[in-house]
Amino acid sequence: MMKRVITLALSVLLLVSVIPISTAAAYDPIYVTDSNGITSTGDFDSLFSGQIIYYPASMMDSDDTYPVVVWANGTMCAPALYHSLLSKIAAGGYIVVTNTNMMSADGKAQIASVDFILEKNADPDSVFYRKVDTEHIAAAGHSQGGRSAVNAAAADGRIDCVLSIAGSNYTSEAKKLSTPTFFMAGGADMMVLASMWVKPAYKNCKGPAVYASLKGALHTRCCTNAGDYSGYAVAWFDAWLKDDADALDQFRSGGALSGDSKWKDFAAKGF
């Protein structure tokens, strides 16, 4: 319990901060491992500018490299709100990097997260030195962060797949997207209406894509019940970042998602 409190405090601090502080003067990394076996730590120049990273604790004793998921937060949301979801994704064998940006729509902060983790992979003094699978990177996010993920992937060829949860996607931006994308919507989301934002983005993107709406889900469901999303999120990443054919089959017509009674309005194209 205490470990989780410390982890949450680290990221909540970013939400309430008002005075930037120097890393060198006031910050030493904190490493906390939670009940999922996931270690989280922070690296930031100021309380408004930085990264929180989740990774399997077993990474430290492994010779393997790990694919990366760069995460973008919703409007005025801190990483703490997504702790459960990001921890579950990391438990699937991923390094998850979330920036502290709270207005992320243009995708630039997520691209900066890609740069950040690749720099750490090349730094002999970093715990991530030679731990990153640099050829397999995903962008994911919620709400405005889902829009960010679409824009980041459209602009940066290093990103191999996208997960947009209740993304406030613009059709004009989605038309630029050819990266495989899973668009998740909420059946009771009154903030980002699926019919206005999520479904049109699915229809207009150029690459392989999946759309599904979680029945009865409000806009913030991924913050309050991460288990509704994490299984398919990890499967989506496994399909495109680990070349897992069985995982990809879950998203085909007749696969697990299309027959899942918790989800509705399934659609898929391009694969």
- Higher pLDDT: 2 or 182? It is 182
pLDDT at position 61 over 90: yes
pLDDT band of 30, cuts 50, 70, 90? confident
**146-155 pLDDT per residue, tens:** 999 999 999 9
For 33-38, what is the mean pLDDT?
A: 93
pLDDT at position 86 over 70: yes
pLDDT at position 174 over 70: yes
Length of the chain: 271
Tell me what pLDDT residue 6 has.
39
Burial class (CB within 10 angstroms; exposed 0-12, middle 13-18, buried 19+) of 186: buried
For 54-63, what is the mean pLDDT?
A: 96
CA 38, CA 82: separation in Å to the nearest integer?
14
User: Over the Cα atoms of the chain, what is R_g?
Assistant: 17
pLDDT at position 12 over 50: no
Q: Which domain holds residue 224?
A: 2-269
- Contact (CB, 8 A) for 150 and 177: yes
CA 190, CA 216: separation in Å to the nearest integer?
11
**202-224 pLDDT per residue, tens:** 999 999 999 999 999 999 999 99
180's tokens: 């495989």
pTM of the complete model = 0.89
The domain spanning residue 57 has which CATH number? 3.40.50.1820
Q: What's the total number of domains in the chain?
A: 1
CA 235, CA 266: separation in Å to the nearest integer?
16
